[in-house]
Chains A and B, each alone.
Chain A
Amino acid sequence: MNFKALGSNLGLEEDEFMELVELFIKTADDDIQKIKTAWAHGNAEKVAEAAHSLKGSSGNLGFLNISEVARDAEKRGKENDINNLDRLTDSLEQMLSEIKECACP
């Protein structure tokens, strides 16, 4: 993962971008946890809320794969269709762990 390029896309130096990535990892972890908890409680509205937040933050940093999955999760939440949502959360966790590995090797 080329953080330098992602950062320069946003007009940021690598160190500035890495600071944001660290914050992103933290908030994305939170958001994924919130999605999972909400899903476990069958709360589709809360799923959509947390997924919306994740969609925004990942999209802004240029992590488009996460943003797309989060968008699907938000849509499912809004449509109250959260069966098998664990597939989405698994893939979100997978993608986030890749970022973690690259960011803090």
Chain B
Amino acid sequence: MEMNQQFSILAVDDNPLNLRLLETTLTKEGYRVLSSKEGSLAREIAVKERPDLILLDIKMPGEDGFEVIKNLKNNPVTAAIPVIFLTGVSEINAKLFGFELGAVDYITKPFHPREVVARVRLHLKLSIATNSLISSQAEKLKQISEAQTSMLTTPESHPEARFGVYFVSLQEAGGDFYEVLSISKDIFGFFVADFSGHDIKTGYLTSSVKALLKQNSTPIYQPSESIKMINDVLVEILPEDKYLTACYARLNRRAKQMVIISAGHPPAVYVPHNGEARLIEMDGDILGIFKDVYFGRQTIDVTPGDRFYLYSDGLVESSQERTVWSKDATALLSACHRSGDLPIKAAPENIVRLLLNDDGKAEDDIVVLGIEV
């Protein structure tokens, strides 16, 4: 008889007895258990075997648990594997730091095997639910009509989001688009993206991504998790060779915090209220091609009056005169800075005018979205 899918758990603890206890307990429950007494070996096993879940001791000689999870989360192959920390009772900072680094949960030591089993089960279920959510979203999207989501979100329709936008779409169904989402009273999401190639009609894809944003941008998901979910669905629905670059900014005005995620998109501009404009540069994979992806993420503490600009490459990449990016960057930063006195609703258009030498003739689709904290 063929066995159902067996789940594998990687247990990492430098204490041989704890490791054996985890092995015995989990094997007994029907899991395939991989184990490692040290961090770097654990990472090797994780890459090779791709376990469904990892139990990770924090305090280990050599590479400790924090180091291990950092590396796991930075590697696209292992980034999505849920990690549960094993930690001492009183180490509250260690617990919080663990969550910050992407752990899904922790178990305090000395641990009780039954608690370990219960938590492993819970997080495997959550992980399965997330994956099935992804396939059901992909299924639902096939039925979405373009008209449902082709309405533009405007500063007038969302005044509480405090943004301004300049949007030109030359193609009938353009490659560039943007969306603004009200996540809660104080939290807003801003999304600017660009589909590669204009050769096939992108209209329905734009609608799909907007629908995905609405479904996945909620307070329960971290911004990087939202984008990861969207990527996983896009991998299933996008035609081959079609991909998306995007920048997602989530602003929490109450916590005074901005999180920016980059998925292969040009760097956002940050203009602090009383400071120099600068680019927020980071690496990040594009969306819709790979199942295993890594996105750049930056968290910035903001103050009211600070501004951010997200844009598509039409603003800086002239197809007729191929200018150098560093020159573009200087001009861009200066244009953003010089638009600081204008209300946020008018700033994006002004930036476009300053950069495209006033002749008003765009060569490409352009989106510029300005946000004021």
Q: Which residues of A contact B (CB under 8 A)?
A: 10-12, 16, 19-20, 23-24, 27, 52-53, 56-57, 59-61, 67
Contact = CB atoms under 8 A, between A and B. Distances in A.
B110 A56 contact: yes
A60 B16 CA distance: 12
B110 A20 contact: no
Interface string B349-370: 0000000000000000000000
A27 B19 CA distance: 12
B18 A12 contact: no
Contact of A23 (B14, B16, B28, B112): B16
B61 to A, nearest CB: 8
5 contacts: A10-B112, A10-B114, A23-B16, A56-B109, A60-B110
Contacts of A53: 14-15
Contacts of B112: 10
Interface of B: 14-18, 20-21, 24-25, 28, 59, 109-114, 117
Nearest to A57: B17
A60 B59 contact: no
Given A23-B16, A27-B16, A60 B28 contact: no
Contact of A16 (B18, B24, B117): B24
B18 A56 contact: yes
B111 A60 contact: yes
Contact of A61 (B16, B17, B25): B17
B62 to A, nearest CB: 13
Given A20-B20, A27-B15, A59 B109 contact: yes
Given A11-B114, A56-B109, A61 B21 contact: yes
A60 to B, nearest CB: 4
A56 B57 CA distance: 11
Given A11-B114, A56-B15, A23 B20 contact: yes
B28 A16 contact: yes
Contact of B110 (A19, A27, A59): A59
Nearest to B111: A60
B25 A60 contact: no
B317 to A, nearest CB: 56
B18 A60 contact: yes
Contact of B18 (A11, A19, A57, A67): A57
Nearest to A67: B110
Contacts of A19: 20, 24
Nearest to B20: A23
Contact of B113 (A11, A24, A52): A11
A16 B114 CA distance: 15
A83 B141 CA distance: 70
B21 A20 contact: yes
A60 B111 CA distance: 6
A11 B110 contact: no
A20 B15 CA distance: 12
Contact of B25 (A12, A24, A27, A59): A12
Which of B18, B59, B111: most chain A Cβ within 10 A? B18
B25 A11 contact: yes
A23 B24 contact: no
Nearest to B22: A60
Nearest to B117: A11
Nearest to A49: B61
A24 B110 CA distance: 14
A61 B112 CA distance: 9
Contact of A12 (B14, B24, B59, B110): B24
B337 to A, nearest CB: 52
A77 to B, nearest CB: 14
Nearest to B86: A56
Contacts of A10: 21, 25, 112-114
Contacts of A52: 59
Which of A11, A16, A24: most chain B Cβ within 10 A? A11
5 interchain residue pairs of minimum CB distance: A59-B110, A57-B17, A60-B110, A10-B113, A11-B114
